[in-house]
Amino acid sequence: MRFVSIDLETTGLDPLTDQILQVGLCVGDTQTHTLLGSIHWNVLPPKGRVHGDVFAMSMNAGILKEIKEGVNCVPMEKIPETIAKWLVGQFGFSHDKDKRVKIPGTGVDVIPLSPVTVAGKNFGSFDLQFIKATWPAFGELIPIRHRILDVGSLWLEADDLAVPDLKTCLKRAGIMKEVAHNAQEDAEDVARCVLKYLDLCGTWRTVHDRVRDLIGSKDGAVLEDVVAVLGGHDDQNSV
């Protein structure tokens, strides 16, 4: 399965009052366990006006400088169409040829994509809310499947008091790096965490099958005991 990791850099936390500054995407493949490609665009705001939270604006000063200089910028209203063209042109995501949608403000009819599986960190509660507020018709052009790959849920441990942040997910996945707070790199890191989790699951499936063959039994209780002895309950290896 191919999935799309999406990350946003914004001027604050409120999708109704703050703005999207940068959109980053990374395409991952669960069959080959590889990253297929990534990209980002800086979002050119209407009339060049940007507003938001002081802390977020200062943290994203580099992005604001790029927007001012016109580096890798796409007008805000053209972002959904640009994303769709990139996914289709670079990675063969398919169109739903039985449907057509009209891009708001342009009057142009386009064929939407078939539903896309998205990965992210807090995507449903944060990024998706900004996307809906900024581009109400985004879901018509690029339908997002209801089941989202959230790395926080994948790398949750039993004694956590809250869903882990991306920094913690990276550490648990064995990826030794800091969170970049750059939309493209963060999207890549989310995709890496998803694939690392699948690697780990695949390893334990292999252990499960080999142990079952060795003991010549399909008794679940016996098998669980053997796996526990092999380290299945070790805190450092738990997911």
* Domain coordinates in residue numbering, the chain: 2-199
Q: What's the rounded Cα separation, in Å, for the pair 7 and 12?
A: 14
Site of tokens 């400088």: 65
Q: Determine the pLDDT at residue 188.
A: 98
Q: Determine the pLDDT at residue 214.
A: 62
pTM of the model: 0.82
Task: Say which range, 85-99, 105-119, 214-228, has the weakest mean pLDDT.
Answer: 214-228
Task: Say which range, 9-13, 71-75, 99-103, 217-221, has the weakest mean pLDDT.
Answer: 217-221
Average pLDDT over residues 205-214: 62
Q: Which of 24, 182, 27, 195 lies closest to 113, judged by CA? A: 27
User: In the structure, what pLDDT confidence band is assigned to residue 216 with cuts at 50, 70 and 90?
Assistant: low
Q: Determine the pLDDT at residue 90.
A: 76
Burial of 190 (0-12, 13-18, 19+ CB in 10 A): buried
Q: Determine the pLDDT at residue 102.
A: 61
SS (H, E, C) 15-82: CCCCCEEEEEEEEEECCCCEEEEEEEEEEECHHHCCCCCHHHHHHCHHHHHHHHHCCCEEEHHHHHHH
CATH topology of domain 2-199: Nucleotidyltransferase; domain 5 (3.30.420)
| pLDDT digits 0-9 by tens, 52-111 | 999 999 999 999 999 999 999 999 999 999 999 999 887 778 777 666 666 655 566 677
Supply the mean pLDDT for the chain.
Answer: 86
